[in-house]
Amino acid sequence: MKLTRSEFQNYIHSYETDEIFYRDLYFAEKEHPETFMEYCQGLDLELITSHKLYVPALRKEAWFPYLEESDMFRDFNGNIMLCKHYRYSPVYVHEHEFFEILCVYDGTAHTEIQGISHTLHTGDICIIPPHTRHSVSIFDDSIAFNILVRGSTFQTTFFQTLTADSALAQFFAHVLYHKTEGNFLIFHAGNDHIVMESLENLYIEYLGHEKYNYTFLNSMLVLFWAQLLRYHEKDIESILTKDTTGSSMTEILNYLNHNYQTVTLSDTAAHFGYSVSHFSTLIKEGTGRTFLQIIRDIKLNQACRALRETTLSIPAICELVGYETPEHFMRTFKKAYGMTPGEYRKRHS
C-alpha cells in the first residue's frame, strides 16, 4: 500500500531501532570515552549480527570494504533500491560495483570521495560512480537517503535523457567513467520543490511495492534526471566542472552546442576570457577530447539526426551543420561511421 505524503514525512523523520542503537553508541563514546570499550562489550551481539550493525570497536577487519552488485541485489528483482542513511552510524570507507546517489533531504551531510571532503546541504544530489572510495557521515538530525542503481540501469536512465546532446553526454561519461580519482557529480538543487517532490515520489513508490513497481521506478528516475538537467545544468559540481575563474564546463559545452556551425577555438576562448592555449588545455582535461573533436562530434550527431528525421538532401544537411563542402562532410562522416550519409539514412529510415 502506497504511503501518503504525511506518512512518508513521518517515516523519513522518525528514528528507527537501528538509528537509536547508533545514536546511543555515538554518545556513549563521545560523552564517556573512558568506559566506551566496556559499553561495547555489553552490547547485544545477537542484535548486532541479525541487524548487520557496524560497531568498529568489536571488529578486527574492515566492514564490507567492497560490495558487488550480486551481493547488494541478491534477493531483489529490481534495479533500483532506496534506503535511508542511518544517522549517527559510524563512518566507514568503502567501494561498490553499482552507482550510489546520495540525496540530502534535510540538513547537512559530510562525505569524503577519494580522499576529497565535501559538505552537502539540503537539495544536494551527489552521484558516486562504481569503484570510487567514499564515506558518508551524519551526526545530527539531518536526513539523507541513498538511491542504489545497477550500472546498466544507470546508463539507460541517465544517458537516455541526453540522447540529443552528445557533447554533455560524453562529458558526463568522462567524469563518471574515465577519471581515476575524485569521481563524483553533485547537483546543487537547493530548495527546488519540483526536484524534492520527485525524490519523495520515488521513495514512496519504492516503499509501496505496488504492481509494476520496477517499471514505475525506472520511468520516474528518467524523469528525475531530466528535471535535474533542465533546471540545474548550471548547478553541477565535479572535479572537472570548475576552473579558477568559475567557468563551468557545462556552460562551455552548451555554448558549443548552440554555435557549433561557425564557432572557432579562438572565438570561444575569447568569449569565456581565456587564452587559446589555456582554453585548449581546459577542454582536453575536462572532456578527454580536443576542441575540434567536440565540434566534429556535435556536427555529426546533428547530421545523423537530420538524416533520420528529415527528408533534407545531403548537400542541405551539409550546409545545415556547418561543413564548407559536401566532399569534406562525406569524407568525415564515412570515417566516423564506416558508411556514407546515404547508406546511414537507408539503414535508419
Q: pTM (2 decimals)?
A: 0.78
Can you tell me whether residue 341 is helix, strand or coil?
Answer: helix
Cell of 26: 555515538
Q: What is d(CA 201, CA 53) in angstroms, rounded to the nearest whole number?
A: 28
**What residue type is assigned to position 233 of the chain?**
E
For residue 283, the tally of other CB atoms under 10 A from its CB is 24
Residue 50, judged by CB atoms within 10 A of its CB (0-12, 13-18, 19+), counts as exposed
| Amino acid 240: pLDDT | 54
| Amino acid 245: pLDDT | 44
| Amino acid 242: pLDDT | 47
Angle subtended at Cα 118 by Cα 116 and Cα 121, rounded to the nearest 5 degrees: 170
**pLDDT greater at residue 335 or residue 172:** 335
Location of C-alpha cell 546533428: 302
Q: How confident is the model at residue 181 (pLDDT cuts 50, 70, 90)?
A: low
Q: What is d(CA 137, CA 282) in angstroms, rounded to the nearest whole number?
A: 33
Pure H helices in 189-340: 193-208, 213-232, 249-259, 265-271, 276-287, 291-309, 314-321, 326-337
Cα dihedral 243, 247, 253, 256 in deg (nearest 10):
-120
* Per-residue pLDDT reduced to its tens digit, 230-270: 898 888 887 655 444 445 777 888 889 889 999 999 999 98
Q: How many CA atoms lie within 13 A of 36 on its CB side?
A: 15
Is the separation of the CB atoms in 204 and 8 below 8 Å? yes
